[in-house]
Structure 1
Amino acid sequence: MNSLVRKFNAIFGADMAGPVIAFIAVMLIFGTFADNFLSLATFGSVAFQLPELGLLTLAMLLPLLTGGINLSVTFAANLSGLAAAWVLQAHGGVDAPPSAFLFACLAALATGGAAGAMTGAAIAYTRAHPILVTLSMMIFLRGLGEFLTRGGDVSGFPAYMAPLGHGTLFGLPIPLLIFIVCVGLWHVLLTRTKLGFGLLMIGSNIEAARYSGLNTRKIQVLVYTLSGLMCAVAGIIMLARFNSVRVGHGESYLLITVLAAFLGGINPFGGFGRVLPVFVALIVLQLLSSGLNLLGANQHLATALWGVLMIVVMAARGLFSSYFASLRKKV
């Protein structure tokens, strides 16, 4: 058994064990008790639903690796989508030319990046706790969005945007392809760049990172700016999918983004984590959601189960950490 565990860790990494075990468990349980779970329809549904949650999880990932968090991801996505919507409305709404969509995307990215940069600057220069800063930013963005939209939604966009939310390319949903590209970018960022090394150093020990010569403030601002930019990408996808923007779209994803990150092996205190295990964890959670729907589970019960699963994941992480520590001592 020990040799099998060591081989698995050597090939895939210890942080992949949790997502893989969870994937096998979900497939066995729902494959047995939920009709049509192991069908192309189920996997097709997962492929279409995964990108929104996935992009918001990527937005959450970098702050978590620095030992922080970004509680404003969903509302940053909403406000970014709202900025894009206004640009399209200003250029004719349903009759807006393709060039207007380009400007709309730039407006969304600028909005998301600005929200992230302000959050990062507040954390870096005031040394306030990320939970307090991002909670404040979440409340601000939500209030601003509701004020600007008067609590309603903005709709009526060009038909050429529909494929971005519902279209396919080479048999795969276009939003899923965009998400996979973003996963690749985050993987390269964390494994091949100085910024990736620096943010992991900050997550491990910010004081040691500062004494080693890293500009920790600059890195923190960049991390939250990138988080905001990823929120903007999610906002654009949601705009295309729903053909409308409303403050509160995807609000229920906040807890699940944190859950996906922790299930994917991200250290809750920062300093360690990879993108690929988080990608597998996202697939597991989306399969779990589809399985619950097939079983006819009440939406409120499903929400309660997310909370229970969060506790189980954290407890399991502690047990596995102790087990692997004992293995290392024996070696």
Structure 2
Amino acid sequence: MTSLTQKFNRTFGADMAGPVIAFIAVMVVFGTLADNFLSLGTFGSVSFQLPELGLLTLAMLLPLLTGGINLSITFAANLSGLAAAWVLQAQGGVNAPPSAFLLACLAALLTGAAVGALTGAAIAYTRAHPILITLSMMIFLRGLGEFLTRGGDISGFPGYVSTIGQGSVLGLPIPLVIFIACVGLWHILLTRAKLGFGLLMIGSNIESARYSGLNTRRILVLVYTLSGMMCAVAGLIMLARFNSVRVGHGESYLLITVLAAFLGGVNPFGGFGRVLPVFVALIVLQLLSSGLNLMGANQHLATALWGVLMIVVMAARTLASKLSAARGRKV
């Protein structure tokens, strides 16, 4: 058993064990208790629901790896979606040409990047805790969005926009294809790019990173800028799926993104984490939600169970760390 575990860790990484075990447990439990859980309908539903949460989790991942957090991701996504919606409305609304959607995407990405850069600069240059800065940004973006929309929503987009949100290519939902592409991009960033190495160094020890010659301020600004741009992608997907934009879309996803990251083996204090285990953890959480729905459970129960799961994951990781430290002292 030990050799099998060691072989698994060498092949997939030790941080993949938890998500894989959770995936197997969910499949066995709900495959037994819930009718039609192991069906194409269930996995089709998961594939359409996964991208929104997944993209927001990717936006949360980079700040977490630096030892920070980004509490403004959902409102940055919605504000970016609003920027795209205003461009489409200005270009004719339901009659807007495809070129207008390209301009809308550019406006969304620039909005997300601006929000992220402002957040990152505030964190890097004031050295205030990311919780305080991003909480302040969250409140600001929410108030700004409510002011600009007067508490309502913006709708009325061309038909091809909803096709992007609801359509498929080669049997896969278009939002899922976009999400998988973003997962691949983040994986390359963290494993091949200097920025990925730098942000992990900052998460491990920002003072050591600074003394080793890394421009920690520049890296932090880039990290939050990329986080904001990923929020913009999420905002565009939500716009396409719901055919409308409002400030509160996806608000309930905020803490679930943190849960997905921790379930995927990301160190709560920064410095360690990979994209692929987080991807598997997202699938587990979405399957858990779908299984509870098939059993007739209230959606609020799923949210409550996600909270319990976060506590269990953190307690299990703390216990595992103590046991590992105890074995090290014995050796």
* TM-score (normalizing by structure 1): 0.98
The one-letter code sitting in structure 2 at the alignment partner of 1:41 is G
1:217-296 matches, within 5 Å, as: 217-296=217-296
2 CA distance for matches of 1:95 and 1:74?
28
What whole-Å deviation, never above 9, does each CA across 1:210-251 have from its counterpart, x for those lacking one? Answer: 000000000000000000000000000100000000111000
Q: Where does residue 135 of structure 1 map in the other structure?
A: 135
1:307-322 matches, within 5 Å, as: 307-322=307-322
> What is the CA-CA distance between 1:160 and the residue it aligns to?
1.1
Q: Where does residue 65 of structure 2 map in the other structure?
A: 65
Is residue 49 from structure 1 mapped to residue 70 from structure 2 by the alignment? no
The one-letter code sitting in structure 1 at the alignment partner of 2:55 is L
Q: Where does residue 168 of structure 1 map in the other structure?
A: 168
2 CA distance for matches of 1:303 and 1:131?
22
What whole-Å deviation, never above 9, does each CA across 1:278-316 have from its counterpart, x for those lacking one? Answer: 000000000001011111111222221111111001111
The one-letter code sitting in structure 1 at the alignment partner of 2:28 is L
Q: Where does residue 34 of structure 1 map in the other structure?
A: 34
1:91-130 matches, within 5 Å, as: 91-130=91-130
SS in 2 for 1:104: helix
> What is the CA-CA distance between 1:4 and the residue it aligns to?
2.3
The one-letter code sitting in structure 2 at the alignment partner of 1:127 is R
Return 300-309 or 205-214, whichever deviates more.
300-309
Q: Where does residue 188 of structure 1 map in the other structure?
A: 188
Return 179-188 or 303-312, whichever deviates more.
303-312
> What is the CA-CA distance between 1:318 and the residue it aligns to?
1.6
> What is the CA-CA distance between 1:17 and the residue it aligns to?
0.8
**Root mean square deviation of aligned Cα:** 1.2
> What is the CA-CA distance between 1:161 and the residue it aligns to?
1.1
Q: Where does residue 10 of structure 1 map in the other structure?
A: 10
2 CA distance for matches of 1:144 and 1:276?
35
Q: Where does residue 205 of structure 1 map in the other structure?
A: 205
2 CA distance for matches of 1:295 and 1:16?
28
The one-letter code sitting in structure 2 at the alignment partner of 1:97 is P
Q: Where does residue 303 of structure 1 map in the other structure?
A: 303
The one-letter code sitting in structure 2 at the alignment partner of 1:159 is G
Unaligned regions of 5+ residues in structure 2, if any?
Answer: none
Aligned residues: 331
1 CA distance for matches of 2:201 and 2:225?
18
> What is the CA-CA distance between 1:264 and the residue it aligns to?
0.2
> What is the CA-CA distance between 1:329 and the residue it aligns to?
6.6
What whole-Å deviation, never above 9, does each CA across 1:161-217 have from its counterpart, x for those lacking one? Answer: 122101111110110000000000000000001100000000000000000000000
1 CA distance for matches of 2:317 and 2:54?
22
The one-letter code sitting in structure 2 at the alignment partner of 1:53 is L
Q: Where does residue 22 of structure 1 map in the other structure?
A: 22
2 CA distance for matches of 1:234 and 1:16?
25
The one-letter code sitting in structure 2 at the alignment partner of 1:305 is L
> What is the CA-CA distance between 1:118 and the residue it aligns to?
0.5
The one-letter code sitting in structure 1 at the alignment partner of 2:196 is G
The one-letter code sitting in structure 2 at the alignment partner of 1:145 is G
> What is the CA-CA distance between 1:326 and the residue it aligns to?
5.4
What whole-Å deviation, never above 9, does each CA across 1:102-132 have from its counterpart, x for those lacking one? Answer: 1100100011000000000000000000000
> What is the CA-CA distance between 1:6 and the residue it aligns to?
1.4
Unaligned regions of 5+ residues in structure 1, if any?
Answer: none
* TM-score (normalizing by structure 2): 0.98
* Percentage of matched positions with identical amino acids: 85
SS in 2 for 1:252: helix
2 CA distance for matches of 1:231 and 1:288?
24
